[in-house]
Amino acid sequence: MTRYDAVIIGAGAAGMMCALTAGYRGKRVLVLDHANKAGKKILMSGGGRCNFTNLDTKPGNFFSNNPHFCISALKRYSPHDFVDMVERHGIEHVEKAPGQLFCADSSKSIVQMLLTECEWAGVELRLGTSINAIEDDCDGMMLDTSIGRISAVKVVIATGGLSIPTLGASGFGYDVARQFGLDILPTRAALVPFTLTSEWKERLSPLAGISVPVTVACRNGFYREPLLITHRGLSGPAMLQISSYWLPGDSITIDWLPGVRIAERLAFERNNTPKRQLSSWLNDYIPKRLTQAVCQWFEIEGTLAQCSNSALEELEEKLNRFTIKPAGTEGWRTAEVTMGGVNTQAISSKTFAVNEKPALHFIGEVLDVTGELGGYNFQWAWASGVACGQAL
Ligand SMILES: Cc1cc2nc3c(=O)[nH]c(=O)nc-3n(C[C@H](O)[C@H](O)[C@H](O)COP(=O)(O)OP(=O)(O)OC[C@H]3O[C@@H](n4cnc5c(N)ncnc54)[C@H](O)[C@@H]3O)c2cc1C
């Protein structure tokens, strides 16, 4: 039976990064994945262009019950380290929003780069392989797989979270964690679009396709990003970001005119252009179809001169502090990430080994570390993969 220094389960972002790091250190490494292709989420990410890092990555961009856990790995492998690799492979990239780096062409080049590096590092990769059991062995671990029994000094769980089962996601990592007595913090879909009650769906679905810059707030979360109205509900970066704070039953506050204090601004405009229609003023800020709909929902009509001060205050309440209670989210089917996961209290932030079981490691999204939208989740996958790969 072949014995490996490390068997990594999951040929995703974290798993491949870990494998190539350990491979270059001379370790005999095998990567197993049940999917028929490596890096399926990378391929789908960033609209096919993979937002592969964020130059401004800070621990504050991550949610975790143990906020200090991510610091060490993020410090040891920076966004610039990953950019260096991308540039060595001649992959062109663009900064679409401040700090957010995407492939100029296609996310395929990132997967190809990782596969090439794994090959150069001597890593063996077996796709379409299922793992039936992992057990303790006298000086390591034993895996029972669809390609036979495999012995390993170390096993790394890099099976990611639960989002998008059609891309290979499974609860495997959590099952292994439970098997070895680790605690799993409640998981929920995040960076996910919202669904609406039938009343709001009826009002908003005719406006599908409209994208507007807004500010959104829920609990402690606050973002200024575009909101996209879809046939199913509310999406776009603003809603994806705030979904990480939202819990069922919560309302979300949307400011449709961010930076414009409506009562104050309209009181001023009322003196200058008293005959102007309110709807025409509103149309300076939001698209016409949305203006028409908003005017209908809130019975906004007449000229500026016809608005009393209290009417202006009321309008400010409705548009600067619009609240909506989503029916839910689109769930695992479209979520980009999983909040929660393996409790990091039992894991070393240096080696990613389980403190009580040094032969077993967890990296990437399976852990209770979740980034905001904008390239942070991949940076976590790369950084945790490298830190673990250096310790195998
Ligand atoms: C549509 C979409 C777009 C995204 N866009 C971005 C983006 O632009 N920027 C960003 O930073 N993040 C993005 N993300 C998030 C990012 O993809 C993940 O955070 C990241 O891939 C996590 O890396 P990972 O290696 O931990 O897990 P994954 O990349 O999910 O890899 C896990 C691997 O484990 C395998 N696996 C699972 N279960 C088993 C099993 N039972 N047996 C064997 N193998 C198994 C899977 O097949 C998979 O290959 C996006 C996510 C999605 C879904």
CA atoms within 13 A on the CB side of 282: 27
Please give the C-alpha separations between residue 54 and each of 11, 61, 66, 96, 174, in angstroms, as whole numbers: 22, 10, 22, 11, 28
Closest atom of ligand 1 relative to the 379 alpha carbon: 11
Cβ atoms of 286 and 212 within 8 Å: the answer is yes
| 116 CA to centre of ligand 1 in angstroms | 19
Q: What is the pLDDT of residue 341?
A: 98
Q: Tokens 């029916």 belong to which residue?
A: 327
* Distance of alpha carbon 121 from alpha carbon 271, whole angstroms: 72
Residue appearing with tokens 């089917």: 333
Atom of ligand 1 nearest to the CA of 376: 11
Q: What is the CA(381)–ligand 1 centre distance, in A?
A: 9
- Residue 220 Cα to ligand 1 midpoint, Å, equals 27
Burial letters for 315-352: b for 16+ Cβ neighbours within 10 Å, e otherwise? bbebbbebebebeebbebebbbbbbbbbbbebbbeebb
Instruction: Please give all residues whose beta carbon lies within 6 A of any atom in ligand 1, as ranges.
Output: 9-15, 32-35, 40-41, 44-46, 50-51, 131, 158-160, 163-164, 168-170, 172, 336-337, 364-365, 375-378, 381
- 3: enclosing H helix or E strand: strand 3-9
Q: What topology does CATH give the domain 193-329?
A: Elongation Factor Tu (Ef-tu); domain 3 (2.40.30)
CA distance 180 to 174: 10
Residue nearest to atom 30 of ligand 1 (CA): 160
Identify the DSSP state of 366.
Answer: G
CA of 341 to the centre of ligand 1 (A): 14
Is the Cα dihedral 366, 371, 373, 379 positive or negative?
Answer: negative
Which atom of ligand 1 is least distant from the CA of 41?
A: 17
Which residues lie below 8 Å from residue 352, measured CB to CB, with a gap of 6+?
73, 156, 361, 362, 363, 384, 387, 388, 391
Q: How far is the CA of 221 from the centre of ligand 1 (A)?
A: 24
Asked if 289 and 267 touch (Cβ cutoff 8 Å), the reply is no
Number of Cβ within a 10 Å radius of residue 146: 12
Per-residue pLDDT for the chain (392 aa), expressed as one digit of tens each? 789 999 999 999 999 999 999 999 999 999 999 999 999 999 999 999 999 999 999 999 999 999 999 999 999 999 999 999 999 999 999 999 999 999 999 999 999 999 999 999 999 999 999 999 999 998 899 999 999 999 999 999 999 999 999 999 999 999 999 999 999 999 999 999 999 999 999 999 999 999 999 999 999 999 999 999 999 999 999 999 999 999 999 999 999 999 999 999 999 999 999 999 999 999 999 999 999 999 999 998 999 999 999 999 999 999 999 999 999 999 999 999 999 999 999 999 999 999 999 999 999 999 999 999 999 999 999 999 999 999 99
Q: How many CA atoms lie within 13 A of 251 on its CB side?
A: 6
Residue 82 Cα, ligand 1 centroid: separation in angstroms? 17
| Model pLDDT, residue 84 | 98
Closest atom of ligand 1 relative to the 378 alpha carbon:
11
Say which residue the tokens 């406006």 belong to. 207
Q: Which helix (H) or strand (E) holds 41?
A: helix 40-48
What's the pLDDT at 139? 85
Contacts of 182 (CB under 8 A, 6+ apart): 342, 343, 346, 354
- Residue 292, judged by CB atoms within 10 A of its CB (0-12, 13-18, 19+), counts as middle
Q: Where are the domains of the chain?
A: 3-189+331-389, 193-329
- Rounded to whole angstroms, the Cα distance separating 392 from 8 reads 11
* Nearest CA residue ID for atom 17, ligand 1: 41
Q: In this structure, are residues 225 and 241 in contact, taking their beta carbons and an 8 Å threshold?
A: yes
Q: What is the pLDDT of residue 1?
A: 76
Q: What local confidence, expressed as pLDDT, does residue 54 receive?
A: 98
Are 3-189+331-389 and 193-329 equal in CATH topology? no
To test the pocket of ligand 1, the residue of 8, 9, 45, 342 to mutate (highest count of ligand atoms within 8 Å of its CB) is: 45
| Helix%, strand%, coil% for the chain, nearest 5 | 35, 30, 35
Q: Which CATH superfamily is domain 3-189+331-389 in?
A: FAD/NAD(P)-binding domain (3.50.50.60)
Q: Which atom of ligand 1 is nearest to the CA of 14?
A: 25
- What pLDDT, on the 0 to 100 scale, is given for residue 211? 97
Which of these, 370, 108, 69, lies nearest to 221 by C-alpha position?
370
Q: How far is the CA of 41 from the centre of ligand 1 (A)?
A: 5
CA-nearest residue, atom 22 of ligand 1:
365
Under the phi-then-psi rule, with left for phi > 0, alpha for psi from -120 to 50, and beta for the rest, what region is 53?
Answer: beta
The pTM of the full predicted model, rounded to 2 decimals, is 0.96
